[in-house]
A and B are shown apart, each in its own frame.
Chain A
Amino acid sequence: MIEPHAADARAAADPTAEPIPADPGSPDPHDHPHPAEHAHPAGRELPAYGTGHELRHAAHHAAVVLSEVTAGYDERAALTDITVAVATGTLLAVFGPNGGGKSTFLKVIAGLLKPWSGHVHVLGAEPGREARRVAYVPQAEQVDWEFPVSVWDVVVMGRYPRLGMFRRPGAADRRAVADALELVGMADHAQTQIGRLSGGQRRRAFLARALAADPDLYLLDEPVTGVDPTTQEDLMRILEAETRRGKTVIATTHDLAAAAEHFEDVLALNRTVIAHGRSDLVLDRDVLSRTYGGHLLVLGGEPLLVDDAHHHDQPPGREQHFHDGTHR
């Protein structure tokens, strides 16, 4: 049984859970016993998001709303007909295979990539309009680690957008940087050139930059991929604390163990939305095989875990693969 939608999943599992206003048009799961079989289940189930009053209403309550969004590069679509609402205060993991559109999803929300079609609302406005309330952290591979900047230099960049031309960082900015460094445990490395940091420290430094910006929406591309368990725990604790303050966190990961363990909500993405909802309810074998095209990876009898590429610095032990083509 798959619960494709956060609001229903929460209501079903926890009667005390507050209703999530950002999820209007929630489908009745009984109408769709196997919603993941539909190519675009969410798109069809949320027709009210298309235009007009309902969209504005939804956008008002949700941190992020995508409605029938198709986006890509050149002539290749990376996302097709995506309809998703992310409630304010959500800690959402976006997972799926490489090329499944995870990074594209973040770029569309960040306003870095203009969708070919569909509507996007971010913090109640067009993408990019509320950019100063958004902090984006790129994948580690996209950063030039030889760049001549220290950890402090990187973190203070989080303060640049609010300063504007001419102005130099002041006392308040320096305090924000120091606080962020303290929070991620990098205060002792403030003057270290970023290339000298370990993988985990690099992720900490970039999360500190996002924290220093004090955004309402965090967009993190693979923030915990390939880092040590301690760093993973620390970073997730910080992000959870941010969501309790009403901040929204959207993080991509292809580390499904991390998604299942640390994130309350997950969005399974493979060109289109496969499933969206509470991680303990959504992450079943059917959804995973649809998300990853039947290329599964099982870790010693634990709940089914999936990976499509071994990008980890420290590959998990006890791996066994099986290729399950029968679901296709």
Chain B
Amino acid sequence: MIDALVAPLQFEFGVRALLAAALVGLVCAVVGSYMVLRGLSFMGDAISHAAFPGVVMAYLFGGSLYLGGAIAAVATALGIGWISRRARLRSDAIIGVLFAGMFGLGVAIYSAIPNYVGDLFGFLFGDVLGIGLGDLIGLAILGGMVILVIWALWKEFLFATFDPLGAGASGLNVNRLDYLFLGLIALTIVVSIQAVGIILVVAMLTTPAATAQLLTARFGRLMAIAIAIGIGSGIAGIYVSFWLNLASGASIVLIQTAIFFLALALGPRRGLLRRHPARAGAEGT
């Protein structure tokens, strides 16, 4: 048993993978806590797919995959925000249009690369066991920036998420906070692509926070639980991946999904097996 736990630590790539997975779990949980409450889960999915053409372009021209992905993701995130403020369309329609359009662009560019036999699987589903030291440092810096911004503005984000009108009327610049948050989602996704890939990153953002929402009715605790799930599942996923020789991103996401269903079944708040039915509303009008 001890051997099984220590085994990945004997390899440098194993240690890097564990650090990267824990870091991605942390950053995704923090951003995801707000994202889920803002109803932006679908937005997260869209932005991650939108990063694809940027990653492919960066590969094509030999640039940094992170930079390419970040530019495409942030541009799309801000584009969705900008268009939904102007066009008379529901934002989910705009998200659908840009999401598919950007992903299609990525596929088109990818298919145009002559004789390309590169690892499409890695882009789409992540390969945290292959992460290099430089990538890990870049990931730590970007992730740290995201955490720092949230730490500085957690009250403001909370107020603007809960009651945008009240927050705006009392002097918070809600528009700017909205754009900033979209930017943070985009950065978080770029940070996570190496670990879990474009397709699965939305689970890293959504599942820990959604699970925490089943377990608590207080925002501070919600974020703490999401962080615990994010980091824990990241580390556990690497071990499962190492032991069973499964894809790392899929392992992490499946563990999170399992925890979600466990919370759904046993959770105190709305769990299917809760002991006391929650009082639905009135305690004397």
Residues on A lying within 8 angstroms of B by beta carbon are 74, 107, 110-112, 128, 131-132, 134-138, 142-144, 147-150, 153-154, 157-158, 160-161, 163, 165-166, 168, 193, 195-201, 209, 213, 219, 227-228, 313-314
Chain B residues at the A interface, C-beta cutoff of 8 Å: 37, 88, 152-153, 155-156, 158-159, 162-163, 165-172, 213, 216-219, 222, 278-279, 281-285
Contact between B165 and A131, CB atoms less than 8 A apart: no
Shortest Cβ distance from residue A70 to the other chain B in the assembled complex, whole angstroms:
20
Are A144's CB and B162's CB within 8 A?
yes
Which chain B residue has the least Cβ–Cβ distance from A156?
B155
Q: How far is the CA of A154 from the CA of B155 in the complex (A)?
A: 11
- The listed residue (B152, B158, B166) touching A138 by CB distance below 8 A is B166
Q: Which residues of A contact B170 (CB under 8 A)?
A: 131-132, 134-136, 158, 160-161, 213
Query: Are the C-beta atoms of B169 and A110 separated by less than 8 Å?
Result: yes
| Selected contact of A149 from candidates B165, B219, B282, B285, CB within 8 Å | B219
Q: How far is the CB of B284 from chain A (nearest CB, A)?
A: 6
| Pair A165/B169 contact, Cβ less than 8 Å | no
Residue of B nearest to A215 (CB): B170
State A200–B285 Cα separation when bound (angstroms). Answer: 6
Specify which chain A residues have a CB less than 8 angstroms from the CB of B171 in the assembled complex: 128, 131-132, 134, 161
CA distance A132 to B283 in the complex (A): 34
Determine which of A112, A166, A197, A200 lies in contact with B165 in the assembled complex, contact meaning CB atoms within 8 Å: A112
Is the Cβ of A160 less than 8 Å from the Cβ of B159?
A: yes
Taking the nearest CB of chain B, how far is it from the CB of A56, in angstroms? 23
Q: Is the CB of B169 within 8 A of A131?
A: yes
In angstroms, Cα B217 to Cα A154, docked, is 13
Complex-state Cα separation, A314 to B285, whole angstroms: 10
Residues of B within 8 A of A148 (CB): 37, 213, 216-219, 222
Having A131-B170, A160-B170, one finds 14 other A-B pairs with CB under 8 Å, namely: A110-B168, A112-B165, A131-B169, A134-B169, A136-B165, A136-B169, A136-B170, A149-B218, A163-B155, A166-B152, A196-B279, A198-B281, A198-B283, A314-B285
Residue in contact with A228 in the complex, picked from B88, B217, B219, B285, CB distance below 8 Å: B285
